[in-house]
Chains A and B, each alone.
Chain A
């Protein structure tokens, strides 16, 4: 199979995503797992670039790598003794985890095979950022209402997070 440079980079990112994800679930040390998750999230941003979703890729880095991962690391560091914790998979977890992942895999596979055509995008060429298109869509087109509803969702998340964590802090 002949690989052009683009495909090579794509497969590299795909391999990085899968490889680091495998490390996340198999490694015994929770800190290494958290840092391996960073590689996974980062290379998913790379895969978004291949889908010409540049805004999504930047968002992935800002929110997931810059925010959620920091949160996970805080969680690891705040739990006493978790740095030395040795993670272990139980048989039941392995079974149900396998069932769920195989179901999702089958679902994705059916979507991939039912997609009529794949456009080969030239990632090496310069491209127009999608930020303007997204802006127009959420500001004046059909996604105006979902955009405002998203603010309510964020409000609920904010108050919920404060409410739950407040109780935990008081119990310290």
Chain B
């Protein structure tokens, strides 16, 4: 299968133009009126509660880190998937070893409770005592 990257460039250009054009057109057509409501953060029509600049739960960061590792693993799966049929059992075993390594890591973080969104106070207390 051949691939032409000019198509990608076309998508990129059309995408950029679409956004710019929409912004320009709406800027030209809009009535410019400023009320207090316009300066409120948009939360689906509800009155927002509190500051928008909240501190995110640090859990997000841990999950994102773990995601990144498995992201890289997925990248390795693509070339493997293309040649899998030709190479056969050998490729299958190789990938099993590769995935097993990361399964060990997944088991580790699972057992240690890094995947738990809200960790029980008990488990944190135990760790601190250790």
Contacts and interface: CB of A to CB of B under 8 A. Distances in A.
Given A55-B79, A147-B98, A162 B53 contact: no
A127 B4 contact: yes
Interface residues of A, number: 53
B23 interface: no
A140 B91 CA distance: 8
B17 interface: no
Contacts of B112: 162, 166
Interface residues of B, number: 56
Interface string B82-94: 1110110011001
A103 interface: no
Contacts of A49: 5, 8
26 contacts: A49-B8, A54-B3, A62-B74, A63-B71, A67-B64, A71-B65, A74-B61, A78-B60, A78-B61, A124-B6, A135-B83, A136-B86, A138-B80, A139-B94, A140-B91, A147-B76, A151-B73, A151-B98, A151-B101, A155-B102, A155-B104, A155-B105, A157-B69, A158-B108, A159-B105, A168-B58
Given A62-B74, A135-B78, A135-B79, 11 more contacts: A126-B2, A127-B3, A136-B83, A136-B86, A138-B76, A147-B76, A151-B97, A152-B101, A161-B62, A161-B69, A162-B114
Interface of B: 1-6, 8-9, 53, 55-62, 64-69, 71-76, 78-84, 86-87, 90-91, 94, 97-99, 101-102, 104-106, 108-109, 112, 114, 124, 127-128
